[in-house]
Amino acid sequence: MQDRPDDMIDIARLVRRLEIRSRRLTSEQLCGEYRSVFKGRGIEFSHVREYEWGDDVRAIDWNTSARRNRLHVKQFAEERERVLFLAVDCSASMMYGSRQRLKRELAAEAAALLGFSALMNNDRVGLVMFSDRVEAVIPPRRGRTHLLRLMETILRFRPAGRRTSIDAACSFILRVCRRRAIVFLLSDLADDGCEQAMRAVNARHDFVVLHLSDPLERRLPLSGILHVRDPESGTVQLIDAGSRAVCERYRVWKLQGRRQLERKLRSMRVDSVFLETDGPVAGPLNRFFRLREQRRL
């Protein structure tokens, strides 16, 4: 499958299908896992008061106690709501798919599952669309109509830029989102210079990367000479896919690149989930939530 223009995507059909599928899967699987993983993230500092007999000594604010020469403890309050931010890559490379769907469609499906999980837990959901710049922003809100608008935007939006800047998306989120939020970055990660920005988001927010890929980006078919075009730069390369040795070298090269990326994310303590255009979405997300919950126990 070649790159498909936006007007070839049946938006209404896809949005309706995503809603039906996402509601079913979130009610069956993801809603409870989402709540379990992100519970307790809504606890924020409220104020400091003097220590009273029976208070938990772990809550003592030693800096304030030293300054005022009396023991003081920190008080925390549970936030009434959480915010889920979806940062979705809309660069040119996301309009590619060789099998069941485009990477942009894969992003919409994952966003729908996460969005309905958030909705069922009374969380607000916002959207940031980015290429090599922040292209569009929809502020966090609740409600079915709002979520359908987000899905339609992900599928329909035509960006001005073709390249990818994860730094632009992360910098925007850091600037506008003051309180701790749940941030999912949905991208094929065609950007190398983004470590510092991702570290900063991960330090302030509950940050998860969904790495979106297509099978042809990992393994070439044994099919002769291929003209391979980079959708972001426009450069074209000729690859001899009729050679098994060339195809194997390509597979190993791509596998090494993916493993290097995974090591980099782990070194930054950033959680990630790998999704492919010809594979399921709910299953990998559900497994991720369960593994993350187990790590917290």
pTM of the model: 0.80
Instruction: Tell me, yes or no, whether 148 and 124 share the same domain.
Output: yes
In a domain, 253, yes or no: yes
Instruction: Tell me, yes or no, whether 128 and 224 share the same domain.
Output: yes
The structure tokens 């969380």 sit at 123
Report the CATH number that the domain containing residue 163 is assigned in CATH: 3.40.50.410
The mean pLDDT value for 277-296 works out to 89
First to last CA, the chain: 44
CA distance 61 to 228: 60
| 267: pLDDT strictly greater than 90 | yes
CA distance 197 to 181: 16
The mean pLDDT value for 179-200 works out to 92
Query: Is the separation of the CB atoms in 75 and 47 below 8 Å?
Result: yes
Instruction: Tell me, yes or no, whether 116 and 196 share the same domain.
Output: yes
Domain that holds residue 251: 6-40+82-296
In a domain, 1, yes or no: no
Instruction: Tell me, yes or no, whether 69 and 144 share the same domain.
Output: no
47-88 residue pLDDT tens: 888 987 767 788 899 999 999 999 998 877 655 568 999 999
> In 3D, which of 202, 209, 216 has the Cα closest to residue 274?
209
Q: What's the longest Cα–Cα distance across the chain? A: 79
130 forms beta bridges with 89, 134
- Better pLDDT: 107 or 9: 107
| 249: pLDDT strictly greater than 80 | yes
The mean pLDDT value for 270-279 works out to 96
Query: Vertex 130, ends 124 and 135: CA angle to 5°?
Result: 90
User: Angle of helix 282-296 relative to helix 103-120, nearest 10 degrees?
Assistant: 50
Question: In the prediction, which pLDDT does 29 show?
Answer: 67
CA distance 295 to 280: 24
Percent of the chain predicted with pLDDT > 70? 89
- Better pLDDT: 12 or 57: 57
The mean pLDDT value for 32-58 works out to 73
Total Cβ atoms within 10 A of residue 36: 14
Question: In the prediction, which pLDDT does 220 show?
Answer: 83
Instruction: Tell me, yes or no, whether 199 and 187 share the same domain.
Output: yes
Instruction: Tell me, yes or no, whether 161 and 100 share the same domain.
Output: yes
Total Cβ atoms within 10 A of residue 205: 20
Question: In the prediction, which pLDDT does 11 show?
Answer: 67
The mean pLDDT value for 255-283 works out to 94
The phi and psi torsions of 257 (rounded to 5 degrees) equal -65, -40
Reported as a pLDDT band with limits 50, 70 and 90, residue 296 is low
The first and second tokens of residue 113, run together, are 């599952």
CA distance 141 to 137: 12
Instruction: Tell me, yes or no, whether 63 and 201 share the same domain.
Output: no
Average pLDDT, rounded, for the chain = 86
| 28: pLDDT strictly greater than 70 | no
The first and second tokens of residue 87, run together, are 């940062």
> In 3D, which of 75, 79, 29 has the Cα closest to residue 52?
75
**At which of 59, 78, 97 does a domain end?**
78
Percent of the chain predicted with pLDDT > 90? 55
Total Cβ atoms within 10 A of residue 175: 9
Measured CA to CA in angstroms, residue 201 lies from 172, 180, 223, 252 at distances of 10, 10, 43, 31
Split into its structural domains, the chain has a count of 2
Q: In what order do the strands lie in the sheet with 271-276?
A: 134-141, 124-130, 83-89, 182-187, 206-213, 271-276
